[in-house]
Amino acid sequence: MIPFKKLAITIMCVLVLSTTLFARQNAKNKTQKNLWFSPSLGPLSLTGNMGFGGGLEFAYSLNGKYYSAEIFAYSPFRLSSSPLESTEYKDMVGVNLLYGRMFGRRNIKFTYSAGASFFVSEVDNSSGTSDVISKSNSLFIGLPLQVEIIFTPIRVAAIGLKAYANINHQNSVVGFAIGLYIGKVR
């Protein structure tokens, strides 16, 4: 599982560096504020299992500084209906608090950010000798990383692609999502 985490971190770093190299800064005297909310959905890999994830992001940007709070839910695909075979699958629900940078031109924006993640995930408390399945929900902390490309054809709505990772000791996640951005995005 460690090589998968290293690959995810390497991909995120390459995306951040490549978008940073081609970015242009806004004029120093110009104040630029952006505020939006964005529902997003997409495929993911949750601790090696393919799944689906979604979120609702509330973001604010002022002169290139990017602040975001996102409510998210990640769930692996369940290919078996047997509870004994599905003990390895763990859903995640929580909140990401992110800080980063936003830059770009009139019709395209780039963001990259990192922060803290607080989430609830299912923990298997059963002993190996018993047939009884004992599960409980526990609170965990993670490191979310996120890169977005936002296409802004009009001032109040946009569409974007998001690559994200949530690195933690319980259920690490890597995924992509398509989002609809509504608010002052340009």
- Domain spans in the chain, listed from the N-terminal domain onward: 2-21+33-75+89-124+135-184
Per-residue pLDDT at 86 exceeds 70: no
| Distance (Å, whole) CA 21 – CA 176 | 22
Q: Give the pLDDT band of residue 156 (cuts 50, 70, 90).
A: confident
- The mean pLDDT of 154-164, rounded to a whole number, is 90
CATH of the domain spanning 2-21+33-75+89-124+135-184: 2.40.160.20
3-state secondary structure of 71: strand
φ/ψ of residue 26, rounded to 5: -70, 165
Q: What is the pLDDT of residues 90-146, one digit of tens each?
A: 778 889 999 999 888 888 989 999 999 988 876 655 555 555 555 667 777 889 999
What are the backbone dihedrals phi and psi of residue 55, each rounded to the nearest 5 degrees, phi first?
-160, 170
Give this prediction's pTM. 0.70
* Nearest one of 121, 123, 124 to 142, comparing CA atoms: 121
* 22-36 tens-digit pLDDT: 444 444 446 678 888
Asked if pLDDT for residue 151 goes beyond 80, the answer is yes
Q: CA-to-CA distance for 120 and 108, rounded, in angstroms? A: 34
155 φ, ψ to 5°? Answer: -70, -35
> The tokens of 41 are what?
């959905």
